[in-house]
Amino acid sequence: MGKSKLIIIFALLLTAVCAQAAVVTDVLGRKVEVPDKINRIVALGSSMAFVSYLNCQNMVVGVEDFDKKEKFVKPYIYLNRELVKDLPVVAKGGPGRMVMPEQVIRVKPDVVFLNSLDRSEAEMLQRKLNIPVVGLSYGLPAFDVTTFYESIRVTAKVLNKEKRAAELIGYIDHLMKDLNSAPEKQVKAYIGGISFKGFHGLDSTSADFIPFRMADIINAADTTGKKGQIFVSKEFVLSSNPDIIFIDGNSLPLVADDIASNPEYYARLKAFSSGRVYLVMPDTSYFVNPELMFANAFLMAKAAYPQNYKNIDPLKKADEILTMFFGRPLYAELEKDSKGYKKIEIKDGKLVLNKVENK
């Protein structure tokens, strides 16, 4: 065989190898070479959400233990229960999560998705696995729509699902514009019970809170000058005396216990005495639940400005949003464990839940 033919064959082989890989820049700013064709996925750190948004969860071959949890309110967990029940566990999720590299390698993924705020975490994991690790994120220190969109697009590029990503992002853009009633007078509200490395009571809140911004609601916690989840004192809540209080569904048992122990405190809050306290679906359960944040915004807008949103049924809107994100309605299933949307009142020193009336 002549030298020229060898050169041609080598060039063809090199071209074929290069065609089988693509370089993506992940949300952590890392350039990652991934196979052109992906068939097997491991999704860590709640990144299963992004995979599920793109209808690719059937490619997942190994999961975190959190993805198999019962009564843990993350929509993608409810969606994928049957799919993941027999899949091997390759990592322990939650606070202080721990990946088991040998288990990941054993299931032979083509790519690993990792929801993380730490570039070095992704780099270290990729070195241990010798498998492409693509970093995703919801934003830092608070949920950020731009970062969220970027994570959807990066996941879509790896999985060749750009059309679905564009559809979903376009829908979210539409949602962000739907709540534009421009009220003559804004109401002030407080969200309590936000999860952060566990469940907390009324003192755990969120500043620069996107659902409040979407609904044109003044956030009592914004006076702290911070962003994301923060802890405040009960005196802070009392002194800010918001028109409306929303309680995150994850914290309901803690708040109920606190009301039973100290009903006098809650009776002093204007929102309780005027009947404007609402239970909402969990904003955060092992990272944020963006789809529930968007759904909650419509309940919050209607609670704040009922005359401007007469045609909005928050329960139906929640199912519309969940169907767009996950392919089917999930509100009824989520309601069983989180109680869904309810009005809260105190009777005989105890917390009582009532249906949200669609007026």
Asked which of 141, 174, 207 is the last residue of a domain, the reply is 174
Give the number of other Cβ atoms within 10 Å of residue 171's Cβ: 15
The pLDDT confidence band at residue 349, using thresholds 50, 70 and 90, is confident
What is this structure's pTM? 0.91
* CATH number assigned to the domain comprising residue 207: 3.40.50.1980
Judge if 166 and 195 occupy the same domain: no
The pLDDT confidence band at residue 31, using thresholds 50, 70 and 90, is very high
Judge if 118 and 236 occupy the same domain: no
- Which residues are paired to 112 by β-bridges? 42, 133
Domain count for the chain, please give it.
2
Quote the pLDDT of residue 228: 85
Backbone Cα Rg of the chain: 23
The pLDDT confidence band at residue 5, using thresholds 50, 70 and 90, is low
Per-residue pLDDT of 127-171, as tens digits, reads: 999 999 999 999 876 788 999 999 999 999 999 999 999 999 999
- CA-to-CA separations, 56 to 41, 165, 196, in angstroms, rounded: 9, 12, 28
Judge if 241 and 345 occupy the same domain: yes
Judge if 167 and 236 occupy the same domain: no
Judge if 162 and 199 occupy the same domain: no
Judge if 210 and 131 occupy the same domain: no
Judge if 167 and 214 occupy the same domain: no
Per-residue pLDDT of 281-290, as tens digits, reads: 998 888 899 9
Range of the domain at 319: 182-355
Judge if 320 and 197 occupy the same domain: yes
- Amino acid in the structure at residue 247: I
Per-residue pLDDT of 86-115, as tens digits, reads: 999 999 987 777 899 999 999 999 999 999
Two tokens, residue 144: 């950020």
Judge if 143 and 243 occupy the same domain: no
Omega into 314 within 30° of 0, i.e. cis?
Answer: no
Give the number of other Cβ atoms within 10 Å of residue 272's Cβ: 18
Two tokens, residue 171: 């829908």
Q: What angle do CA 50, 319, 218 make, to 5 degrees?
A: 85
User: Which residues, 6+ apart, have CB-to-CB distance to 329 below 8 Å?
Assistant: 319, 322, 323
Judge if 234 and 129 occupy the same domain: no
- Chain-centroid distance, C-alpha 81: 17
The pLDDT confidence band at residue 3, using thresholds 50, 70 and 90, is low
Instruction: Identify whether the C-beta of residue 303 lies closer than 8 Å to the C-beta of residue 313.
Output: no
Query: How do beta strands 218-219 and 188-192 pair?
Result: parallel
Asked which of 110, 143, 174 is the last residue of a domain, the reply is 174
Report percent pLDDT > 70 for the chain: 94
Q: Which of 49, 79, 60 is CA-nearest to residue 148?
A: 49
Give the number of other Cβ atoms within 10 Å of residue 102's Cβ: 10
Per-residue pLDDT of 157-213, as tens digits, reads: 999 999 999 999 999 999 988 887 778 889 999 999 898 877 888 999 999 999 999
Instruction: Identify whether the C-beta of residue 295 lies closer than 8 Å to the C-beta of residue 206.
Output: no
